[in-house]
């Protein structure tokens, strides 16, 4: 045996004739162990004992909302109009402001300045006679309802302005 082996302390017990050196664990191993313990405690406090962190269901719902919004934006950029596209348009203040201006110029004479109704039906409640989802509203604004005396605004306003009015109505719709 070398001199170094003789200077190191050997444990007194023996197993199958094998003796062990009495050495401490390496520092990198101890730091890893203690760091893992600290991380586990912090993780437990953050996710289990406080309401700071999102649980897995909330994270999933947030991720799905981002995916739905991205799909709706892609549809809007591609020119596909559906209920989701109008929901995204209704969140855009510039589109809603344009729609409000157009509404007040063309629709308020019958439906009121605040959509409270008058000659035409009120547009500030949850249920509408001819449909209250965005595509139904678009169809009504575009083609009108001849039996109710509502003119077709599609040929007068054009597709973009009709979409802006629908976005304004959707943004202010009571659910």
Tell me the per-residue pLDDT of 104-115, one tens digit each, with 9 for 90 and over: 999 888 888 888
Band (pLDDT 50/70/90 cuts) for residue 76 is low
> Which tokens sit at 149?
């005396």
Q: How far apart are CA 170 and CA 156, in angstroms?
A: 21
The lowest-confidence range among 1-5, 42-46, 157-161, 163-167 is 1-5
Position 8 pLDDT exceeds 70: yes
Q: Assess contact for 162 and 142: CB atoms under 8 A.
A: yes
Say which residue, 32 or 137, is predicted with more confidence: 32
Say which residue, 5 or 165, is predicted with more confidence: 165
Position 39 pLDDT exceeds 90: yes
- Percentage of the chain modeled with pLDDT above 70: 93
> Which tokens sit at 78?
């591609």
At 6 the pLDDT is: 57
| Residue among 153, 150, 148 at smallest CA distance from 165 | 153
Q: What is the pTM of this model?
A: 0.57
Q: How far apart are CA 16 and CA 61, in angstroms?
A: 59
Give the number of other Cβ atoms within 10 Å of residue 61's Cβ: 12
Position 137 pLDDT exceeds 50: yes
């Amino acid at each position: 045996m070398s001199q170094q082996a003789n200077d190191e302390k050997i444990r007194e017990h023996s197993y199958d004739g094998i003796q062990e050196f009495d050495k401490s664990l390496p520092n990198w191993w101890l730091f890893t162990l203690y760091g893992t313990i600290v991380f586990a405690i912090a993780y437990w406090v953050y996710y289990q004992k406080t309401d700071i962190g999102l649980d897995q269901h909330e994270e999933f719902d947030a991720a799905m909302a981002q995916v739905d919004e991205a799909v709706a934006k892609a549809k809007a950029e591609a020119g596909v109009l559906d209920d989701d596209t109008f929901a995204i348009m209704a969140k855009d203040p510039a589109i809603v402001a344009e729609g409000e201006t157009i509404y007040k110029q063309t629709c308020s004479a019958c439906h009121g300045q605040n959509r409270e109704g008058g000659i035409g039906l009120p547009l500030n409640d949850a249920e509408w006679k001819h449909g209250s989802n965005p595509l139904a509203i678009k169809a009504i604004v575009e083609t009108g309802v001849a039996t109710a005396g509502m003119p077709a605004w599609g040929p007068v306003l054009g597709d973009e302005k009709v979409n802006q009015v629908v976005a304004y109505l959707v943004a202010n719709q009571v659910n």
